[in-house]
Amino acid sequence: MINFEYFFLDEAYQAEGLVVVIDVLRAFTTAAYAFNVGVQKILPVAEVNQALNLRRQIPGSMIMGEVDGIKPPAFDYGNSPASISKLDLNDKIMIQRTSAGTQGIVLALNADQIFAASFVVAKATAEAIRRLNPDKVSFVITGKSLGRDGDEDRACGEYIQALISNQSVDSKAFINRVRYSSAGRSFIDETKSITAEIDFNLSIQTNIFSFALPVVKEDSLLTMKFTEI
């Protein structure tokens, strides 16, 4: 039987075994859409300067992400699945820096294996974990780090956990938690932009991609790839 544990971002270093780092709104939803439009791999980093240095070192690479929700002027793209989904990024190398999701990956120092996850890849992630049959799965709930309740990420983790145990689980109750999480409410607030509302709607699409997002070390760099399930 798999032992499941949950950690917040500032506890990510405690996460052991197979670690699933979750960022529903929006880092790993954006990452999934980036792979869907052709990205070859994504290099998650913690700092803006790291991202800029990597872009200089890797010809043709691009940066997507945010600082406190806003795209830095030097980045190529923000942290928006709606925007990324409209691009042609065939065979591109993307560098990603966000305030929550990529931080969780970098901080998961004691992980044996890492997956990045969101609702759009939840079923594929659960299936990948079932195939690996680990003793322990640790979920890192990154959304809690920003002064929010993080329940959108906790709901995704609990949904993936349920899928691992029961493939027929209904996603509706979990998605409703995203709507009523503090982050979810901020995205659907009528004062927010149309882009934010579209991003929210894309982020609650469940299991629309048939790949998981493992993170490995490649040439000393953390590297997110996609694995068809």
How confident is the model over 92-150, as pLDDT tens digits?
999 999 999 999 999 999 999 999 999 999 999 999 999 999 999 999 999 987 678 99
pLDDT at 197: 86
Q: Which domain holds residue 173?
A: 3-228
DSSP E strands in 61-163: the ranges are 62-65, 93-97, 111-117, 136-141
Q: In whole angstroms, give the CA distance from residue 130 to residue 164.
A: 6
Neighbouring CB atoms inside 10 A of 54's CB total 17
What percentage of residues in the chain have a pLDDT greater than 70? Answer: 96
Q: In whole angstroms, give the CA distance from residue 73 to residue 92.
A: 20
129 half-sphere exposure, CB direction, 13 A CA radius = 35
pLDDT at 148: 87
Give the total number of structural domains in the chain. Answer: 1
102 within 8 A of 7, measured Cβ to Cβ: no
Q: Find the mean pLDDT for residues 152-181.
A: 94
Q: Find the mean pLDDT for residues 12-24.
A: 98
The token duo for 128 is: 């990948």
Q: In whole angstroms, give the CA distance from residue 14 to residue 10.
A: 9
Q: In whole angstroms, give the CA distance from residue 208 to residue 205.
A: 7
**What CATH number did the domain enclosing 122 receive?**
3.90.1560.10
pLDDT at 138: 98
Q: Find the mean pLDDT for residues 170-179.
A: 96
pLDDT at 188: 75
User: What average pLDDT is seen over the chain?
Assistant: 95
Q: pLDDT grade, residue 189 (50/70/90)?
A: confident
pLDDT at 194: 59
What percentage of residues in the chain have a pLDDT greater than 90? Answer: 88
Q: In whole angstroms, give the CA distance from residue 98 to residue 119.
A: 18
Q: Which of 107-111, 144-148, 182-186, 203-207 has the lowest mean pLDDT?
A: 144-148
